[in-house]
Amino acid sequence: MLLGPPGSGKGTLATSLSEHLGVAVFVTGDALRAAIDAKSKLGEKVKADVEAGRLVDDETILALAQGFLAAHPEGVLFDGFPRTIRQAAGLRSLVSAEDDLHVIYLDASEETITSRLTSRRVCPGCGEIYNMRFKPPKKDGVCDNCGTTLIRRKDDTEEVIRDRYQVYLRETAPLVDYFARELLRVDGNLSGDKVLERIRGELCPA
């Protein structure tokens, strides 16, 4: 599983790591949407919560994670789950003793995160994500794929980022201690390539 503050690069890492390891990625938001689309009993409950603006409870999210794990016996990469100690305890109980649980902690400073997220731009046309510092478009302010003018997401402002970071510190940061035994700490201030290199060296020694 991948652990780290918002903007530490979990999403990008999840994509490259899942390709490298040949495992499926579980992202809570995607799993919630899939459950709604499947119109399962769990999906109906999720739909009701989402429509009422309620937070989906830990038990429901755990049930989705359990179903995903059962459907992918070759292994799963959890991105942004578990988010709370309660979810973490649930995940531990799902992983049997002979299975390996690896926790990769992307340790990035608040400064790094803020500068990354405020320089992020998205294409409203095709969904491509750019970063004005690390991955700028070829032509200033315009999408390489489709030529649409890039925008800044409204939750990529410093104020929103600071709030999300505070929520992370309160709810998710305690997981670093909780998983102390399984933890592989990686410097999330490094570039994505360097991070991947480090993890591959640790998890797949040649």
Annotated active-site residue 120? The verdict is: yes
Considering only residues 54 through 83, tell me which ones interact with Zn ion, judged by CB under 5 A.
Answer: none
Catalytic residue of the set 45, 83, 198, 200? 83
Q: How far apart are CA 204 and CA 191, in angstroms?
A: 20
Half-sphere CA count of 200, side-chain side, radius 13 A:
15
The H or E element containing residue 206 is none
- Residue 10 falls in the annotated catalytic set: yes
* Minimum CB distance to Zn ion, residue 126 (Å): 3
Query: Known catalytic residue: 200?
Result: no
Name the helix (H) or strand (E) containing 11: helix 10-21
If the CB atoms of residues 144 and 182 are measured against Zn ion, the closer one turns out to be 144
Encoded tokens for 113: 């995160």
Question: For Zn ion, which is the closer residue by CB, 126 or 180?
Answer: 126
Query: CB of 11: closest distance to Zn ion in angstroms?
Result: 18
Reply yes or no on whether 153 is catalytic: yes
- Residue 93 vs 145, nearer CB to Zn ion: 145
Q: Which of 147, 174 has the CB closer to Zn ion?
A: 147
Each residue 114-153 as x (binds Zn ion by CB under 5 A) or -, in order, gives ---------x-xx-x--------------x-xx-x-----
Alpha helices in 22-80 (DSSP H): 28-38, 41-51, 58-71
Q: Which two tokens stand for residue 2?
A: 């991948």
Give dist(CA 178, CA 36) in Å, integer.
31
Respond yes or no: is residue 41 known to be catalytic: no
The 10 Å Cβ neighbour count of residue 106 is 22
Q: Give least dist CB 188 to Zn ion, A.
A: 27
CB of 168 to Zn ion, least distance (A): 29
Which of 164, 18, 22, 166 lies closest to 78, judged by CA? 18
The partner residues of 121 in beta bridges, in order of sequence, read 130
Give the length of the chain.
Answer: 206
Given the complex with Zn ion, which of 134 and 163 has the nearer CB atom? 134
- The residues assigned a catalytic role are 10, 83, 120, 153, 164
User: Which residues contact Zn ion (rule: CB under 5 A)?
Assistant: 123, 125-126, 128, 143, 145-146, 148
